[in-house]
Structure 1
Amino acid sequence: MTAQPGRRRRADELRDAIRGAVLAELDERGYQGLTFEGVARRAGTSKPVLYRRYSSRAEMTIDAFLPSRMGRPPATSNGPLRSDLIALLDGLLARVGPDGVRIFRGVIGEVEDATVARVAAQVLAQFAEWLTDITDRARAAGELGPGTIPPRVNEAIVALARNEILFVLGAGRPHDSEGLVDDVILPLLRTTTRAPEIS
C-alpha cells in the first residue's frame, strides 16, 4: 500500500497504512525479519516517520497486532453460557494462531516491564469486556447467580487462556477449550456469582 503522490494522508490513514504494512511484513517475513525499512516501504512512508511513532520494532508490532487480534469479539455470543465460553476460547486461540505465538515470543524479549504491564492490562480489559457480555446474558437467562464477578476471576480466566495459547497451542499440542470450561471456568463463575446463603 502506497500513498498517492502529492497527497498528505490524515493521521488515521497513515496509522492504518503502517499497521497494515506491519501485519503484512510479519506474515511474509516473521518477527525476526521485520524491519523499519520494510514497513516504511510497504506503507509508503519513511523511516523517520516510523521512528517518531515507535521506539522499537516491538512497539510497532504491538500497535498493529493487538487491534487486529483484540479489536472485535472472536466469536458471536448467543447462549447458552457453556457454548459461548467455548466459542470465545476457540475463537481467540484460532485468531492468535501459531504465528501469533511466535510473534509474542519475539516481542516479549525486547520490551521493558512497563510495556508488558501495559499490554497485559489492555488484553485483560478487552477480554473482561467480552466475558461480561457473555455472563450478563447468562445471568439474565438464569444460568448464573446474581453476584458480581470479582476482577480476580476475570484475571484467572485470562491467565488460563494465556497458558493455553503459549504453552499448549505454542507447544503444538491440541487445546482443550471444553475441558477448561467444564472443569474450571464454569464452576468458578457459578461459585462466585452464587447468592449468599441466609443463615
Structure 2
Amino acid sequence: MSLNESRGTRRRGAELEDAILDAAWAQLEEGGYPRFTIEAVAERAGTSRPVLYRRWPGRTELLLATVAHIGDRTLPVIPDTGTLRGDVIALLHEVNRTRAGLMALVSVHLGSYFSESGTSPAELREHFIHGRPSSMSQILSRAAARGEAPADLPERVCSLPFDLFRGEALLTLQPIPEQSIHQIVDEIFLPLVQAYRQKT
C-alpha cells in the first residue's frame, strides 16, 4: 500500500485504474519499453505491484491496456464542415496536433516490444482503436449522403489519407507540414474519390 493510500486517500475502481494507466503512459514516454516494468509503473502511480498484478498478469497486458487507454483519451473530434474536403483536412489537422507524438513513440520506443512479442505496429494499432469505428468512415458516410462520394469506396481508398499521413509522420517523427496535408487531400485522395464516383 502506498503512503497516499494509507493516509485515507485510497483510490478505487476506475479512478485507480485511470491513474495507473496515466502513470504507465508517462513511464513509457520517459523510458521506453525496456524501462516499462510493473515495478516502475507501480512506483510512479503511487501504488503497489500486487494492485497492478490483480488487473494485468504482466507488462505486455499492461502495455496493451495503456495503449487502449491513450487511444480513448486522444479521440479526435470528428469535424463537420459541410464538405468532404473540409472534413478530411480538419481531421488531419486534429490528428497532426494530438497524435503525431504517439506515432513517434511507437517508432522510437517500442522496437524491443515488437521483437519480444513477435507482433507488429498494425496489431498494436488494433488495441489503440479497440473496435471503434474510424473517423474516416463516419466522414465518408456523411459525404455519401450529400452525394460527394460513393457509398462503396474500397477500404484502401477510405484509409488512404491516414495511411499517407502515418507514413510521413513515422519517417520524420514530427507533425507533418500543412502543405503535405493539402497535397494528400487535394492531389491524391479527392481525385481518387471522384474517379470512383464517376464509375457509379
* TM-score category (smaller protein): 0.7 to 0.9
3-state DSSP of counterpart to 2:22: helix
Structure 2 residue aligned with 1:139: 144
Structure 1 residue aligned with 2:80: 78
Report the count of equivalent residues: 191
Structure 2 residue aligned with 1:167: 171
- 1:97: how far off? 3.2
1:128–1:154 CA contact under 8 A, matched in 2: no
CA 1:173 to 1:189, structure 2 compared with 1: closer, same or farther past 3 Å?
closer
Q: Partner amino acid for 1:132?
A: S
Structure 1: gaps spanning 5 or more residues: none
Structure 2 residue aligned with 1:110: 113
Structure 2 residue aligned with 1:36: 38
Percent of residue pairs bearing the same amino acid type: 29
- 1:177: how far off? 0.9
1:73–1:130 CA contact under 8 A, matched in 2: no
Structure 1 residue aligned with 2:52: 50
1:3–1:43 CA contact under 8 A, matched in 2: no
Within-5 A mapping of 1:178-197? 178-196=182-200
CA-based RMSD of the aligned residues comes to 3.4
3-state DSSP of counterpart to 1:110: helix
1:157–1:185 CA contact under 8 A, matched in 2: yes
CA 1:180 to 1:34, structure 2 compared with 1: closer, same or farther past 3 Å?
same
1:154 counterpart = 2:158: yes
Quick one: distance in 2 between partners of 1:172 and 1:85? Answer: 16
1:9 counterpart = 2:18: no
Q: TM-score, normalised on structure 1?
A: 0.73
Structure 2: gaps spanning 5 or more residues: none
1:24 counterpart = 2:40: no
